[in-house]
Amino acid sequence: MQDRSRSKEETVDALHAVAAEMHDRMMRGEPPRMTLPVRSKKNIAFDEKLNVYKYGSKKTIRDATSLGSAHQLLRALHVTEFMEDMIESKKSSTLREMYYISEGWGYGKFGSQNESNNLAEDLEIVTGCLREDFKLRPEEDGARIIGNLTFQERNRRGEWMRINCRDDVGDSGYGVPYNVESEKLQLVEHDIDFMMAIETGGMFDRLVENGFDELARCGLIHLKGQPARSTRRVMKRINEEWGIPIVVFTDADPWSFRIFASIAYGAIKTAHISEYLATPSAVYLGIESGDIEAYDLPSDELTSRDIEALKAEKSDPRFQSQEWIDQIDLMLDLGKKAEQQSLAKYGLDFVTDTYLPEKLQQKLGLVIG
Amino acid sequence: MDKAQRIANKQKQISISEFFEKNKHFLGFDTHQRAIITAVKEAVDNSLDACEEGRILPEIHVDIKRLDGDRLELVTQDNGPGIPRDSIANVFGKFLLGSRFHAIRQTRGQQGIGITGVVMYAQLTTGSTTTVLSKIETESTAVRVDLALDTKNNRALRSNEDRLPLEEWFEESGMESLHGLRIKTVMAAKYQRGRQSVHQYLRMTSIVNPHATIRLRVFGKDGEIIDEGEWIRTTKILPRPVVEIRPHPHGMQFGTLQRMLKNTKERNVRSFLRKEFEKVSPLVSKKILEHAEIDEKRRPSGLSVEGIQNLLSAFMTVKIQAPPTDCLSPIEDLLIKKGLEKAIDSRYAATVTRTPTVSQGNPFQVEVGLVFGGDLPSDGSVEVLRFANRVPLMYQQGGCLLTKGIESIDWRRYGLEQTGGKGVPKGPAAILVHLASTNVQFTSEAKEAVSENEEVIDELRRALFEVGRGLQGHRKRIGQREKSREKFDLINKILPEIASKSSSMLGRPEPDLSPIITKIMNAVFCEEGVIWDSKEKLARCSIKIYNYTARARAYTIIVKWPERDGVALVENERGGRKETRGLWAWRLDAINPGGMTEISFAVNGLSNGDWKEAEVFYRGNGEIIGSERIDESLLEEIRKQEGLKGVVEEFVDESPVQSPMIEEALEGDSSVVADGEKEWRSDGKLF
């Protein structure tokens, strides 16, 4: 995220401001604190200007009057110190490594990796920096891409490597690195009409085997469940820099709806950088609730967790359009969900010969073949 | 011999064997698994009773060995007084013998069949004789004899009689005791483990007999140990000797009264009533007879059926004092605690011994113990340990009044799980229930389940409520302690680190933490701890009051301590004064903001584990976290009770005082606001 990156000094200053907020209060005889936006669906709102969902104005104060919060403040200081060291010594570490390093921080030790990941995000939010500025890497798995797209990636030796995602890769495709900013990855050229994001590996492999990328002149990207930051960022760049539409093909269940929301509207956890990660023009292709009946797909009963998740989505600001309300209500009515691969009921080619062409025509007006 | 005589003899012979055969189920020998438990039970009960009478700290060894063909060899050894040679045959060879059958007092065995049944069972099932080895203190040798039963004449047949020198006695008995008894027999029986086993029986026995050391070893056919247990005594205090009492008129039934009238040596009904019953004074006896319209000069044996009935109804009409209760032998709360700790590893133990009460002329007393936490399994039902007169009840748990009492309480409010607030609760706990009575009513001859009795269940429920409240208080204290510990961690560990880290990172001066600490804590905290000083044999208690508020605070601190005979407060430098029995109070000078005051004292006369947790109360303005405001109205109640009790004791009874009332009162509803605040305003001018 070139435009957002901070210099070494800027990052350290921003981190010091966090420590200064604590110190200033202590000098006034007040318990130290850190102020953060509330990070829940209750505090995300649509930003008209950026066309994505961002954190609203609700703030939460984390102050040292409870043991839990005091721990968080101390950890924030330890993390700050650790990041300064890394910036100084030009090293980087993964979030998991930081979690293990915290073993040596006494009372500042993290209880779980989730805690350390959350704190890294907290610091991004309060400093306005990105974790790349902090020299922290995710170990999350980036996506893989197949299709006639050509990238240029800077390898470990610092040389630019040209990779065509159809001709230069094996069946598993091109692996998206964790850093997809222009200093690491450049979009060179393409010959595709749209990009299709696919939730499950099974369906990705089916489409690859059936040669759908060539048949439909598209790029295929495997999301691996809830997509990593880099996956969303690379889709956003493809969409913006090449003007290529993004379509999303997932299971029909409440969790798939959330995957789509994080791609198109912004994820709750990363709402502070939604404008860099979300692709507002992304289209939800399917499987839609209505398809379960329309295509008479093999389905499963919704579990109580599914039903709860659907109900929660009804109060999620990102799902307030009529289309989504209908989509969610219909699924609740049916009491059913279906997987992408249930399309195999009609044979292995049904998805590429019938289902996707029908959907693409319906949603994008594209005629395949 | 005359033919008729022979038939009569034969009939008699058949009748005793037959009696045994037919009644095996309620004599406890109905199955092979149960036979060994019953045999151990009879022998161990006898040993405990004998030691109690001889005022000896019991040590009992039980060895069981598997033999071929579903037979077990049982050896029990005790350090009791032993049995004089000439009494051995009587004790082991006669049914329905023993003073206990007639006297009214609380004893373990009440069946009268006792050890003779074991000798009989062994003889009937394996043809084996029972070997008895007895050593009494006054003799220099032990006597050994093999016993068989002559069922025809209801007496024992002795054989192989022998005298053993002292060294051989020591070797045989495996004990360094100058007295004791060893029984060895072989019977058709099966050893099994589990809830209904010899092991469980001895474990339960050891709980209610904390003064006894009991050892169990079970050997397989090849001499390998297949089960064992050892429960070492946790106290050297013997149970109080029980006093025999006469029947009380309120407990009389027609048949019993008829028999007493017939057998009495008294010449007239007036002296019969006075001599044969408890609490019948000359005046009472006169009133009874007036009421029954019976001439006081009448011969007791001459009363008609109608006369007896009139007498019975007069018993119920005339006011008669309740029977004395010192014939009971409660285990007493502290010893129950020790017993439970001996057998069950737990975090918390609460016990209650209710004061004795009377039901239908029979004195009874309920005791309850509850252990919680520690290694107890938290899934599944709590273990219910039932006892009647110190005898474990192992069968028919569901049909027993003692279980029903537990089931009738909503344990959820005390922090145990319970479906619908009914039934045996679930959770990491065990509940002990002991009913001591001169006449325990069972549902059947098997004597495994106590039958319904409203007064008993009422008492039981009261006792269970008390331990329940104790558990609730304990859980609350644990919660508060956890909360204060967190706060202390925060200000002592985390906050200084935040201060030093942020200062050094920014290159700025370190802030003064004290105003911040006051803001964070904004409360008064109490930290209490009781530790055992094994060198000085003292329980040392320390109470620290931290004032983390912005104002000076003054309090009177009241601590509940295990006051009882032989126990005293020592090393109490702050002095203070006695609030009431079991409560000591210290009036503290005002504690300044950020200040701390410590009260420390020790309690002697206790042993390790007797006192683990001090309950701290306060009087004064502003809440203290980790302590409860004393409930003045309840305190007043206790003082009244104490006063009353003192008077009653002086005139009636010299038995040791138990005061479960204190516990009850203090752990009751404490939301009533005390008026102790006034006290400070008027004389303190502290704020």
Most confident of A126-130, A350-354, B391-395: A350-354
CA quadruple B648, B653, B655, B661: dihedral, nearest 10:
-20
Contact B498/A70, CB-based, under 8 Å?
yes
Q: Which pLDDT value is given to residue A92? A: 81
Interface test with A, best of B483, B494, B512, B548 (most A CBs within 10 A): B494
| Contact yes or no for B389/B402 (Cβ under 8 A) | no
Q: Which residues of A touch chain B, with CB atoms under 8 Å apart?
A: 16, 19-20, 22-23, 26-27, 29-32, 64-67, 70-71, 73-74, 77-78, 80-81, 84, 106-108
Q: Domain containing B568 — which CATH number? A: 2.60.40.290
| Whole-number average pLDDT of chain B | 82
CA distance A79 to chain B (A): 11
Is residue B650 one of the residues assigned to a domain? yes
Contact A23/B512, CB-based, under 8 Å?
no
Most confident of A322-336, B81-95, B297-311: A322-336
Q: What is the pLDDT of residues B113-145, one digit of tens each?
A: 678 888 889 988 998 999 999 999 999 999 999
- Which residues in chain B have Cβ-Cβ distances shorter than 8 Å to A71? 494
Q: Domain containing B313 — which CATH number? A: 1.10.8.50
| Contact yes or no for B382/B372 (Cβ under 8 A) | no
By CA distance, what is A16's nearest residue in B?
Answer: B506
CA distance B502 to chain A (A): 5
Is residue B255 one of the residues assigned to a domain? yes
Report ipTM for this prediction: 0.75
Cα–Cα distance for residue pair B211/B92, rounded to 1 Å:
26
Interface test with B, best of A26, A33, A80, A87 (most B CBs within 10 A): A26
CA distance B594 to chain A (A): 14
- A2-137 folds as Arc Repressor Mutant, subunit A (1.10.10)
| Whole-number average pLDDT of chain A | 88
Residue B363 belongs to what domain range?
Answer: 333-472
Interface test with A, best of B501, B506, B508, B519 (most A CBs within 10 A): B501
Q: What is the pLDDT of residues B560-583, one digit of tens each?
A: 888 888 899 999 999 899 988 888
Q: Based on the fold, state whether residues B537 and B451 are members of the same structural domain.
A: no
Is residue B4 one of the residues assigned to a domain? no
CA distance B515 to chain A (A): 5
Displacement of CA B226 from its chain's centroid (Å): 30
Residue B360, pLDDT > 50, answer: yes
CA distance B475 to chain A (A): 21
By CA distance, what is B508's nearest residue in A?
Answer: A23
More confident residue, B467 or B348: B467
Mean pLDDT of B380-397: 88
By CA distance, what is A22's nearest residue in B?
Answer: B502
Q: Based on the fold, state whether residues B221 and B297 are members of the same structural domain.
A: no
Is residue B479 one of the residues assigned to a domain? no
Q: Domain containing B434 — which CATH number? A: 3.30.230.10
Contact B501/A78, CB-based, under 8 Å?
yes
CB nearest to A81's CB, from B505, B513, B515: B505
Of B202, B231, B260, which residue is a domain's last?
B231
Which residue do the tokens 């109470």 mark? B543
Domain ranges in chain A are 2-137, 144-364
Q: What is the pLDDT of residues A287-316, one digit of tens each?
A: 999 999 999 999 999 999 999 999 999 988
* pTM strictly above 0.90: no
Is residue B168 one of the residues assigned to a domain? yes
Q: Which pLDDT value is given to residue B7? A: 54
Interface test with A, best of B490, B500, B521 (most A CBs within 10 A): B490
Cα–Cα distance for residue pair B17/B348, rounded to 1 Å:
50
Q: What is the pLDDT of residues A156-199, one digit of tens each?
A: 888 999 999 999 998 889 999 888 888 889 999 999 999 999 99
Interface test with B, best of A16, A21, A22 (most B CBs within 10 A): A22
Q: Which residues of B touch chain A, with CB atoms under 8 Å apart?
A: 486-487, 489-490, 493-495, 497-499, 501-503, 505-506, 508-509, 511-513, 515-516, 519-520
CB nearest to A32's CB, from B487, B489, B498: B498
Cα–Cα distance for residue pair B581/B576, rounded to 1 Å:
14
Contact A71/B508, CB-based, under 8 Å?
no
| Contact yes or no for A123/A79 (Cβ under 8 A) | yes
**Residue from B424, B423, B431, B434 nearest B372 by CA:** B431
Q: What is the pLDDT of residues B137-177, one digit of tens each?
A: 999 999 999 998 887 777 788 889 999 999 999 988 888 89
Confidence band of B97 (pLDDT split at 50, 70, 90):
very low
Contact A31/B512, CB-based, under 8 Å?
no
Q: Based on the fold, state whether residues B146 and B114 are members of the same structural domain.
A: yes
Confidence band of B358 (pLDDT split at 50, 70, 90):
confident
CB nearest to B499's CB, from A26, A80, A106: A26
Cα–Cα distance for residue pair B474/B492, rounded to 1 Å:
26
Q: What does DSSP assign to residue B588?
A: P
Please write down the HEC assignment for all residues of B98-117: CHHHCCECCCCCCCCCHHHH
Q: What is the pLDDT of residues B15-43, one digit of tens each?
A: 566 677 677 776 778 889 999 999 999 89
Cα–Cα distance for residue pair B208/A118, rounded to 1 Å:
56
More confident residue, B665 or B389: B389
Q: Which pLDDT value is given to residue B654? A: 37
- A144-364 folds as Dna Topoisomerase Vi A Subunit; Chain: A, domain 2 (3.40.1360)
Contact A29/B516, CB-based, under 8 Å?
yes
Q: Based on the fold, state whether residues B392 and B522 are members of the same structural domain.
A: no
Q: What is the largest CA-CA distance in chain B?
A: 121
Q: What does DSSP assign to residue B492?
A: I
Confidence band of B94 (pLDDT split at 50, 70, 90):
low
Q: Which pLDDT value is given to residue B685? A: 30
Contact B489/A67, CB-based, under 8 Å?
yes
Say how many domains are in chain B. Answer: 4
Q: Domain containing B96 — which CATH number? A: 3.30.565.10
A53, A55, A99, A100: which one is catalytic?
A: A100
Q: What is the pLDDT of residues B510-550, one digit of tens each?
A: 988 888 888 888 888 898 889 999 899 999 999 999 998 88
Is residue B287 one of the residues assigned to a domain? yes
Q: Based on the fold, state whether residues B78 and B193 are members of the same structural domain.
A: yes
CB nearest to A20's CB, from B497, B506, B520: B506
CB nearest to A64's CB, from B490, B503, B506: B490
Q: Based on the fold, state whether residues B542 and B641 are members of the same structural domain.
A: yes
Of B161, B196, B231, which residue is a domain's last?
B231
CB nearest to B501's CB, from A27, A66, A77: A77
CB nearest to A74's CB, from B486, B497, B508: B497
Q: What is the pLDDT of residues B204-243, one digit of tens each?
A: 999 888 899 999 999 999 989 999 999 998 888 888 776 7
By CA distance, what is A24's nearest residue in B?
Answer: B511
| Contact yes or no for B629/B670 (Cβ under 8 A) | yes
**Residue from B589, B348, B566 nearest B469 by CA:** B348
- Which residues in chain A have Cβ-Cβ distances shorter than 8 Å to B506? 16, 19-20, 23
Helix (H) or strand (E) holding A239: helix A229-242
Is residue B598 one of the residues assigned to a domain? yes
**Residue from A201, A204, A226, A248 nearest A309 by CA:** A226
Q: Which pLDDT value is given to residue A231? A: 92
- Which residues in chain A have Cβ-Cβ distances shorter than 8 Å to B516? 26, 29-32, 64
Residue B249, pLDDT > 90, answer: no
Q: What is the pLDDT of residues A125-140, one digit of tens each?
A: 888 888 888 888 887 6
Q: Which pLDDT value is given to residue B95? A: 61
Q: What tokens were used for A70?
A: 């005091």
Q: Based on the fold, state whether residues B290 and B363 are members of the same structural domain.
A: no
Confidence band of A95 (pLDDT split at 50, 70, 90):
confident
Q: What is the pLDDT of residues A191-248, one digit of tens each?
A: 999 999 999 999 999 999 999 999 999 999 999 888 988 899 999 999 999 999 999 9
Contact B494/A107, CB-based, under 8 Å?
yes
Active site residue A53: no
Contact B516/A30, CB-based, under 8 Å?
yes
Across B505-522, b (16+ Cβ under 10 Å) vs e yields beeeeebebebbbbbbbe
Q: Which pLDDT value is given to residue A356? A: 93
Q: What is the pLDDT of residues A10-67, one digit of tens each?
A: 888 888 888 899 999 999 988 898 888 888 888 888 888 888 888 888 888 888 888 8
Is residue B671 one of the residues assigned to a domain? yes
Q: Which pLDDT value is given to residue B2? A: 60
